[in-house]
Structure 1
Amino acid sequence: MYDPTRLAALVAVSEAGSITRAAERLGYTVPALSQQLAKLEREAGAALLVRHHRGARLTGAGELLLARARRVLDEMELARHELAQLVGLGGGRLRVATFTTAGIHLLPPALTAFRRAHPDVELTVTGHEPPLGVAAVAAGDADVALTHTYEPAELPAPPASVTLEPVLVEELVLVTAPGHALTAGTGRLPLAELAGQPLISMAPAHPARQGVEAALARAGAAPAVLVETPDYALVCAMVSAGLGAAVVPEMVARTAATPVGFRPLEPGELRRTIWVCRRTDESSPAADTFRALLRGTFGRSAT
């Protein structure tokens, strides 16, 4: 029988594209994760991964097992949800902290499903731009929080009292005014094509974005406008007005309130991971059920 922890490791590597990035997301060291994958390969009796200079990819056997692994993990999440329901969520409260993008695009369907199943639980939603949501959970001011990290970047270690679980991994894409030549083409646009292009930059107020901005600077993109507030709607509005191009999460590009063109970038290593944060040593039926709903809806997705 396959160990679910090892199956989750295989899923993480398939999404992250490398053992190193998967280890960071799962909170493992690279040797520890490699050991789990090696054990899974012995259990499967086949090579599941091929290492290469940019990371790792799944073999045919790995792809076959990946599909089954996702089903197993989904069923386990569903079981956790159903068991939480048996506890009888007839009252109590659920305090959710979120940042703006997740609050608009991820929370509503999960909260709707939660309210439908547990109408007597008091719901509170507060806005906390990362990493403030993690601090709110650590301080006991929130039961769960949605937060994010960017790649490439130094991933800050969370407090020992909290645990982060990945919900959604998405690529960052280029957005421009509609009809711009950079987004008119097909396929991925090499970062080098941004050389000399005016860029709407979010580096000054976003430590998490500094790795992304540094990659763009190395490609020769020229900062034209600096945005110091964590507001992608504002960025997209300025892009739409022709003030410059920007690199934003794909979710933002697809749901922009103002018209923009967008295009994926090569090599596709600029990413954002959205995490759900909880206290490590505490749990509640409401928080556990909500996390199961959230991950069941959006978990293990990748662009």
Structure 2
Amino acid sequence: MYDPTRLAALVAVSEAGSITRAAERLGYTVPALSQQLAKLEREAGTALLVRHHRGARLTGAGELLLARARRVLDEMEQARHELAQLAGLSGGRLRVGTFTTAGIHLVPPALTAFRRAHPDVDLTVRGYEPPLGVAAVAAGHVDLALTHTYEPADPVALPASVTAEPILVEELVLVTSPGHALASASSRLPLTELAGQPLISMAPTHPPRQGVESALFRAGATPAVLVETPGYALVCALVSAGLGVAVVPEMVARTAATPVGVRPLEPGDLRRTISVVHRTDESHPAADTFRALLRGAFGRSPG
């Protein structure tokens, strides 16, 4: 039986015309989406895509499966809508909290699927830089929120009324200016090779990252620019301009608005975990349904 998530990946590649653009649309990293497509090809027993210098196109077998995939996904959405009506999701509201990266790459496709299945539910989206979303859920300001934690870091206790459910774990990678010597290879770069490198730092006002940046400082990276307001778009822009190097989540690096070089690090234990937090002391069908959509679309480990 074909996995609906992989069928959705095939549809996205067909519509976007490339694996890279499809990954951006779905909130996947390119390697993760390629892995899903490779699994689908193994299930189908034949090639479904042909990659070329401008992107990717479907083979004859891919086109055949595409038509069926759209029908399957449409039927599943209709079933979700009908079940939601039975469960009382023909009205009401859903209030979602999110931080910037998730708001750009993860929330829109999940909300689109939710809207198609439950058009009568009122939607509200609010921005909270972690860990403020956790407090917003605990206080009842939103029904759920996307937040993140970094490794290494000291554990942070959650309020007793709140549960965090991890939906995506991604490695942190090095970003450099285009053509930088450190980005000239695809192999993992030992942290010790960062000794003496000017580092663009987000640590001063971003406590979740302080453990990560302490590890970078121990490896010999030298703080060169301190970014007082957390914002990866700004960090990547400064890197692209040659003001230093930075270590950012892979999703950020692959979708940077400014050109950057990217290289994985060794060891690969610098990570960011994106979780959805929700209250455990009350039932909320709309929030439960949205969490299920997030799990189905993004619930995976690195790679």
Same fold per superposition (TM over 0.5): yes
Equivalent residues of 1:172, 1:272 under 8 A apart: yes
Partner of 1:239: 239
Q: 1:1-303 alignment to 2 at 5 Å?
A: 84=84, 86-303=86-303
CA deviation digits over 1:145-193, x for unaligned, max 9?
Answer: 0000000001201100000000100000000001101011121000000
Offset of 1:242 from its aligned partner?
Answer: 0.2
CA deviation digits over 1:62-81, x for unaligned, max 9?
Answer: xxxxxxxxxxxxxxxxx999
Question: For the structure 1 residues 82 and 222, does the alpha-carbon distance in structure 2 shift closer, same or farther, using more than 3 Å as the test?
Answer: farther
Equivalent residues of 1:81, 1:292 under 8 A apart: no
CA deviation digits over 1:88-107, x for unaligned, max 9?
Answer: 31110000000000000000
2-structure distance, mates of 1:124, 1:230: 23
Partner of 2:15: none
1-structure distance, mates of 2:263, 2:142: 37
* Paired residue type of 1:239: V
2-structure distance, mates of 1:255, 1:226: 22
Q: What's the secondary structure of 1:289's corresponding residue?
A: helix
1-structure distance, mates of 2:82, 2:199: 48
2-structure distance, mates of 1:181, 1:147: 34
Question: For the structure 1 residues 80 and 148, does the alpha-carbon distance in structure 2 shift closer, same or farther, using more than 3 Å as the test?
Answer: farther
Offset of 1:82 from its aligned partner?
Answer: 8.3
Report sequence identity in percent.
82
Partner of 2:34: none
Q: What's the secondary structure of 2:264's corresponding residue?
A: strand
Offset of 1:283 from its aligned partner?
Answer: 2.0
Offset of 1:84 from its aligned partner?
Answer: 5.0
1-structure distance, mates of 2:298, 2:244: 31
Equivalent residues of 2:186, 2:264 under 8 A apart: no
Equivalent residues of 1:85, 1:289 under 8 A apart: no
Q: What's the secondary structure of 2:90's corresponding residue?
A: coil
* Paired residue type of 1:224: A
Offset of 1:85 from its aligned partner?
Answer: 5.6
2-structure distance, mates of 1:260, 1:131: 28
CA deviation digits over 1:225-267, x for unaligned, max 9?
Answer: 0001110000000000000000000000000000001000000
Equivalent residues of 2:84, 2:90 under 8 A apart: no
CA deviation digits over 1:182-216, x for unaligned, max 9?
Answer: 01112100000000000001110111100000000
Structure 1, unaligned runs of 5 or more: 1-78
Equivalent residues of 2:80, 2:117 under 8 A apart: no
Equivalent residues of 1:81, 1:293 under 8 A apart: no
Question: For the structure 1 residues 244 and 89, does the alpha-carbon distance in structure 2 shift closer, same or farther, using more than 3 Å as the test?
Answer: same
Equivalent residues of 1:98, 1:147 under 8 A apart: yes
* Paired residue type of 2:158: P
Equivalent residues of 1:81, 1:288 under 8 A apart: no
Paired residues in the alignment total 225
Give the structure-2-normalised TM-score.
0.72
Question: For the structure 1 residues 226 and 81, does the alpha-carbon distance in structure 2 shift closer, same or farther, using more than 3 Å as the test?
Answer: farther
Equivalent residues of 1:167, 1:275 under 8 A apart: yes
Question: For the structure 1 residues 269 and 81, does the alpha-carbon distance in structure 2 shift closer, same or farther, using more than 3 Å as the test?
Answer: farther
2-structure distance, mates of 1:226, 1:266: 24
Offset of 1:302 from its aligned partner?
Answer: 1.9
Please report the RMSD computed on the Cα atoms of aligned residues, expressed in angstroms: 1.6
Structure 2, unaligned runs of 5 or more: 1-78
Equivalent residues of 2:177, 2:259 under 8 A apart: yes
Equivalent residues of 2:167, 2:276 under 8 A apart: yes
